Amino acid sequence: MDRIRLVGGNELRGEIPISGAKNAALPLMIASLLTDEPLVLQNVPRLADVKQLERILENHGVDIAVHGRRRGEDQGVGQRMTFHAADIVDTTAPYELVSVMRASFWVIGPLLARCHEARVSLPGGCAIGTRPVDLFLFGLKQLGAEIDIDEGYVVARAPKGGLVGAHIVLPKVSVGATHTILMAATLARGVTVIENAAQEPEITNVAECLVAMGAKITGIGTRTLTIEGVDKLHGATVDVIPDRIETGTFAMAAAMTGGDVLLRGARPEHLQSALDILARTGTELTYEVDGIRVRRNGNGIQPVDVETDPFPGFPTDLQAQFMALMTMSSGVSNIRETIFENRYMHVAELARFGADIRVEGQLATITGKPTLKGAQVMATDLRASVSLVIAGLAARGETVVNRIYHLDRGFERLEDKLSRCGAEIERVAG
């Protein structure tokens, strides 16, 4: 199994192109199931999760084409891909495919809406908590679906004539449930209202894609989405938004190591809460026409308390990276994780660098130290993996990050992007 080896101590200086957002690309790919016409996605990141979802969609009968680079196109630009679900040949998403990646469960919405039936394995993915699909099924039932659980599969059937619009009040904000119900509602008869919907930029990206495909949606970007069902959706060409989690990750890496990095293509409005927190650590942020410039001033890293929250709050997907940054702050900071109940597995690995972290329930207290020491560490989940890389970039000596397949799921060309900015980092074949 591949590992990443790095030697810390180098400041990051240069430019990092921000890839397309994984958390937008995956539901956008799934949206192709809603139409028999081609959906063209631009700026799709080259990730293991994207490849896995390709396999799942191909199993349903989706034809997928990856287009070559256009003349003058920058090497950092993501893939241009066409997804054509002219004929859905199978409405079953099998365990061996869905168990690898949680987001693949979202195919249940489009399959149910278009084919009036779906049989989808209960999902897998990162081990950061139970993350049940109750809210998904709650919403689909509200649209008239009959739901059964059979030997680890969710079996869903729409009423005769298809799904029916409904007023749905989600008891808890859920990105996955919002994606799934939103897609299903586009082909439902009548009007659907989703209250307490997630507001993440990725939701907006998908909603605007659905509108480009002929859906009738209002309230995009708010807590209340209204969808007037249509008989049929058509093809479209849509850009995947820049990855705000990758943006925040590289911004924190620059803050921890020092230096001066331009995050090209980053959109500050997609992670303003995290940027505001980062500014309080003493990091200098400049919003430029083509991205965000990140500099660390000479006063060291100031301790800051943070609590994770749904958008527009501080993202849970940046919690591990921020904790790595706080391990070298000049005082005591507190992080409260409110989204997932098991998202502190990186704490034990950060401690191997010499970090001082105490966890009590949802609260982690970090006492900063002036230096960390390189170590052998093990990646536990996607975002935790990159927090170990950030720590290694700033630690004295050599760090080896093992079990990095998690990184390949969510970060495109990580070693290349960092090495171009002066990091001593390489992938070692296992």
Summarize the confidence of residues 164-172 as an average pLDDT. Answer: 97
Determine what percent of the chain is predicted with pLDDT higher than 90: 84
Average pLDDT, the chain: 93
Of residues 282 and 77, more confidence is placed in 282
Answer yes or no: is 131 a known binding residue. Answer: yes
State the pLDDT at residue 406: 85
State the pLDDT at residue 123: 78
**Residue 231 in this model has a pLDDT that exceeds 80:** yes
- pLDDT band for 430, please (50, 70, 90 cuts): confident
Answer yes or no: is 160 a known binding residue. Answer: no
The CATH T-level fold of domain 22-239 is UDP-n-acetylglucosamine1-carboxyvinyl-transferase; Chain (3.65.10)
Three-class HEC string of 245-257: HHHHHHHHHHHHH
**Residue 152 in this model has a pLDDT that exceeds 60:** yes
Fold identical between 3-19+242-428 and 22-239? Answer: yes
Answer yes or no: is 22 a known binding residue. Answer: yes
- Structure confidence by residue, pLDDT tens digits, 32-48: 999 999 999 999 999 99
Active site annotation includes 126: yes
Cα separation of the two ends of the chain: 4
**Residue 359 in this model has a pLDDT that exceeds 90:** yes
**Residue 71 in this model has a pLDDT that exceeds 80:** no
Strands 259-264 and 12-17: parallel
CATH superfamily of 3-19+242-428: Enolpyruvate transferase domain (3.65.10.10)
User: Global pTM?
Assistant: 0.95
DSSP code per residue over 282-349: TEEEEEETTEEEEEE-TT-BPP--EEB-STTSB-GGGHHHHHHHHTTBSSEEEEE--S-TT--THHHH
The residue ranges of every structural domain in the chain are 3-19+242-428, 22-239
Answer yes or no: is 339 a known binding residue. Answer: yes
State the pLDDT at residue 278: 98
Q: Which of 151-155, 182-186, 244-248, 369-373 has the lowest mean pLDDT?
A: 151-155
Listed in sequence order, the residues at least 6 apart from 321 whose beta carbon sits closer than 8 Å to its beta carbon are: 248, 249, 252, 253, 383, 386, 387, 390
State the pLDDT at residue 405: 87
- Structure confidence by residue, pLDDT tens digits, 184-230: 999 999 999 999 999 999 999 999 999 999 999 999 999 999 999 99
Answer yes or no: is 174 a known binding residue. Answer: yes
Q: Which of 186, 256, 188, 246 is nearest to 413 (CA)?
A: 246
